[in-house]
Amino acid sequence: MATMIDDPLSRTFSALADPTRRAILARLALGSANVGDLAEPFDMSFAAVSKHLRVLEGAGLISRGRDAQYRPAMLDARPLAAASAWIDDYRKFWGDSFDALDDFLASARSKAGATKGSATDSPTEKEEAS
């Protein structure tokens, strides 16, 4: 049973989940294009590309114009800003986690170096017995 995605962020990520749609967005970042232009690099029908465009349009990632019989698609990157902001929250989390790991490893190396240095500086029991 399919569920409707009703929040903008979910629609954005759902649209971005498909590599063909990501490629279409990359192409539209260069400028507007019609279905024929967008279908050219793919081994799929115009109808299949049109379905991808409907998903992108539903997510607000593209808009469609009217130019005589053509309906050129244009990138609308505003929804990507919300997705980027959401990801940035987790980038901070991972950055903080990696910083903590760096601190732990530096501390462990320092302790290992201190233990190693003190073991080589002091005589062993065999040397003391001789």
Give the pLDDT score at 116. 72
Give the pLDDT score at 127. 52
Q: Answer yes or no: are the C-beta atoms of 2 and 37 closer than 8 Å.
A: no
Find the CATH number of the domain harbouring 66.
1.10.10.10
2 inside domain: no
Give the pLDDT score at 99. 84
56 inside domain: yes
Give yes or no for residue 11 having a pLDDT over 70.
Answer: yes
Give me the number of domains the chain comprises: 2
Q: Distances from the Cα of 75 to the Cαs of 18, 30, 79, 100, 124, in angstroms?
A: 16, 9, 10, 40, 73
Nearest one of 33, 32, 75 to 56, comparing CA atoms: 75
Who contacts 15 (Cβ-Cβ below 8 Å, separation ≥6)? 21, 55, 56, 58, 59, 61
pTM of the entire predicted model: 0.68
124 inside domain: no
- For 28-50, letters b (16+ CB in 10 Å) and e give beeebbbbebbbeeeeeeeeebe
For residues 92 and 33, membership in a common domain is answered with: no
Who contacts 18 (Cβ-Cβ below 8 Å, separation ≥6)? 52, 55
Give yes or no for residue 66 having a pLDDT over 70.
Answer: yes
Span 55-64, mean pLDDT? 96
In the chain, % of residues over pLDDT 70: 84
C-alpha–C-alpha distance, residues 55 and 27, integer Å: 16
Q: How would residue 128 be classed by pLDDT, with cut points 50, 70 and 90?
A: low
For residues 97 and 110, membership in a common domain is answered with: yes
Q: Which domain holds residue 21?
A: 8-78
49 inside domain: yes
Find the helix or strand (DSSP H, E) in which 63 lies: strand 62-64
For residues 72 and 12, membership in a common domain is answered with: yes
Give yes or no for residue 1 having a pLDDT over 50.
Answer: no
